[in-house]
Structure 1
Amino acid sequence: MIRPRAKPKVAIEEPTSVPEEPVEQEEPRERDTLQRATGWIRRSLNLGKKPLFPDTTEEPSPEGNPSTGEASKGAPLGDEQTQEMSLFDIHQAQDVPGEKPRRLEAPLRFVLKFDTGLSVTVGDRPGVVGVRQDTDDVELHRIYVKDPTDSIAMEHIEFGVTDGVFWVKDLNTASGTIVQEPGSRSLQCIPYDTYSLVRSSIVTLGTVSFTLH
């Protein structure tokens, strides 16, 4: 009797598990950079506040100092590390442009041209026309007129400028004062009444007259 041969046993190798190497987690550099950028923008837009401490010029390392184990300094300043700015600081920060200087208007002037050849320029200061000579009067602009006929009083008329309009006033003289505007008839002045005149008007004092320019 022939016995069957026994089949050799084949050893089944179990799969060996390879140990997984630990994956090092990198520090979120991008997140720290974004936080620093947004923090700087928030501080820049906050015009009413300024940082208590200046920002560090050296970029801090997110890992810190490995030798000492200390965390890196110079982190972005938060909103709590700010204080109120003065009006001068706000003005400097905003750089507000100054106002443009106003253009100064030239003072108004009138010219009195007498038929005697005399020409006098007057301004806002009131004055008097007559034969009285007084050069020491600082309040009134006195205009001296020669009159051989004695028809002009010592102080014949008073004149002035109000709101850019020239006016005259007879001072109750014997010969009186006559005014005539262009295109109008002559008008005898009532003593102490004010008569507003336009340029090219003619004012007659006794035998002497002048034209307003």
Structure 2
Amino acid sequence: MFCGECGSSSTATPVSRRRPDPRPSDTTVIPALPPARHVVSVPVEQAPAPQNAEPGAAPGAVSTADVPAETARWMAASAPASGQRFQLQFSTGETISVAGTGLLGRRPLPEPAEYFDHLIQINDVGMSVSKSHLEFGQDEGRLWVSDRYSANGTVVRRPGERAIRCEPGRRYLVPRGTRVEIAEQFFMVS
């Protein structure tokens, strides 16, 4: 017997209408992360100096003989020319002081053979910020940002200029006073 209006079985019950769970029975439920601050800056730990470190090298420095040539060139090119420090003031209220290079996102994770001075995590409830949304660094004491092919993109608003939508993989200089919009979040450079 079937219902003339909806076509379902007239003898069916809510329990018998329930579809079986397609997931395997060994599925584990992952608990939610504990509430945290909105922005977390995690300094990248430096390994102790190896036995064959170059003379006069800073503590934690690695001899370029220990790494592939391409990585050594990248490390030399990404080292900040000056010790400039920049303040990143986030829309969530936190302020982070940075120098050198960094990666910013919901859960920033460098690719293999990438080295960063800062990993900055943003707690974005709306998940508009990508996991590794933005990369930043310095060039002759000036800060630059580069979109890491994020889903919602990056917009740079320099003081007195029109907004620029960042092309992924390209570096954009961001002088002090610039507003950098990362999806629904933003930060000011000072």
Q: TM-score range by the shorter chain?
A: 0.5 to 0.7
d(CA) in 2 for partners of 1:179, 1:207 = 13
1:173–1:133 CA distance, 2 compared to 1 (3 A): closer
1:191 aligns with 2:129: no
Q: 1:14-68 CA distances to partner (integer Å, 9 max, x unpaired)? A: xxxxxxxxxxxxxxxxxxxxxxxxxxxxxxxxxxxxxxxxxxxxxxxxxxxxxxx
- The 5 Å alignment of 1:15-164 reads 107-124=83-100, 126-132=101-107, 139-140=115-116, 141-164=118-141
Who is 1:209 aligned against? 186
Higher helix residue share: 1
Q: Which residue of 1 aligns with 2:13?
A: none
Change beyond 3 A, Cα 1:193–1:210: same
Residue aligned with 1:159, SS: strand
2: CA distance between counterparts of 1:195 and 1:171?
12
Bigger radius of gyration: 1
* 1: CA distance, partners of 2:156 / 2:188: 10
User: With structure 1 as the length reference, what TM-score do the two structures score?
Assistant: 0.47
Which runs of 4 or more aligned residues in structure 1 lie more than 3 Å from their structure 2 counterparts after TM superposition? none
Distance 2:156 2:150 in 1: 14
What is the TM-score when the length of structure 2 is the normalising length? 0.52
Output the CA distance in 2 between the equivalents of 1:139 and 1:171. 15
**Structure 2 unmatched ranges of 5 or more:** 1-81
| Alignment partners' CA distance in 2, 1:133 and 1:194 | 18
How many residues are matched?
105
Q: Deviations over 1:72-114 (max 9, x none)?
A: xxxxxxxxxxxxxxxxxxxxxxxxxxxxxxxxxx821100000
Amino acid at match of 2:145: V
Q: Does 1 or 2 have the higher relative contact order (CA < 8 Å, sep 6+)?
A: 2
2:148 pairs with 1:167: no
Code of the residue aligned with 2:119 in structure 1: it is: R
Check conservation: 2:104, 2:121, Cα contact below 8 A: yes
Q: Distance in 2 between matches of 1:190 and 1:133?
A: 19
Secondary structure at 2:151 match in 1: coil
CA distance in 2, matches of 1:144, 1:121: 14
Identity across matched positions, percent? 34
How large is the Cα RMSD of the aligned pairs? 1.9
| Residue 118 of structure 1: how far off its partner (Å) | 1.4
